[in-house]
Amino acid sequence: MASNQALLIIDYTNDFVADDGVLTCGQPGQALAPTIVQLADQMATAGDWVLLPTDVHTPHDPYHPESQLFPPHNVRDTWGRELYGPLKDWYATHQDKDNVWAFDKTRYSSFAGTDLDLRLRERHVDTLHLVGVCTDICVLHTAVDAYNLGYQLVIHQDAVASFDAAGHEWALRHFKNSLGATIA
């Protein structure tokens, strides 16, 4: 497989997207599902990498900075951490493919404390397509780290959302104007 691009589907879980999720984006997040699944299908079929960096936490961890900012969310082995809606079904169907994998992350950025950069470089990936939630938190921090590591960025604006509309709009401008990202 010789693709130089990867799709990162960031934190598209029940806690961040479902109506009764702990930190839900609600309808704006739910509306992304068809686009995210379509992009995953297109890229996986084309032989590109489809990665699902997914937030995971231990409740009330006194050493984790998010414990001071947010209620417990995306707790391992809970409904809240499961992939949301049609993406859950898509992943169940495609998880055994060599170019599809999910991995845990414990910080906003998909790079922080993970082997993502190493795995991307081993595969000669230089372009990252980012989708998921929240535009102004985990997608943003992943994009900043990717930029600092030298990756080209494509942000699919119809496949990112936040529970903060102003933050979402600010992040889209930041991707383009400060990180040189292509906004698709």
**Is residue 74 classed as helix, strand or coil in its secondary structure?**
coil
Average pLDDT, stretch 142-165?
A: 97
Q: Which amino acid is present at 43?
A: M
Instruction: Report the distance separating Cα 177 and Cα 47, nearest Å.
Output: 30
- For residue 2, the model assigns a pLDDT of 54
Class of domain 6-183: alpha beta
Average pLDDT, stretch 158-174?
A: 97
Q: What angle do CA 122, 106, 142 make, to 5 degrees?
A: 55
- Convert the pLDDT of each residue in 84-93 to its tens digit: 999 999 999 9
Bridge-based pairing state of the strands 5-10 and 127-133: parallel
**Is residue 182 classed as helix, strand or coil in its secondary structure?**
strand
How would you list the strands of the sheet with 49-55, edge to edge? 100-105, 49-55, 5-10, 127-133, 152-161, 182-183
Q: Looking at the predicted structure, is the pLDDT value of residue 1 above 60?
A: no
Average pLDDT, stretch 147-174?
A: 97
- Convert the pLDDT of each residue in 85-137 to its tens digit: 999 999 999 999 999 999 999 999 999 999 999 999 999 999 999 999 999 99
- For residue 157, the model assigns a pLDDT of 97
Extents of the domains making up the chain: 6-183
Tell me which H or E stretch contains 44. Answer: helix 33-45
Residue 70: pLDDT band (50, 70, 90) is: confident
Residue 28: pLDDT band (50, 70, 90) is: very high
Q: Looking at the predicted structure, is the pLDDT value of residue 182 above 60?
A: yes
Q: Looking at the predicted structure, is the pLDDT value of residue 63 above 90?
A: no
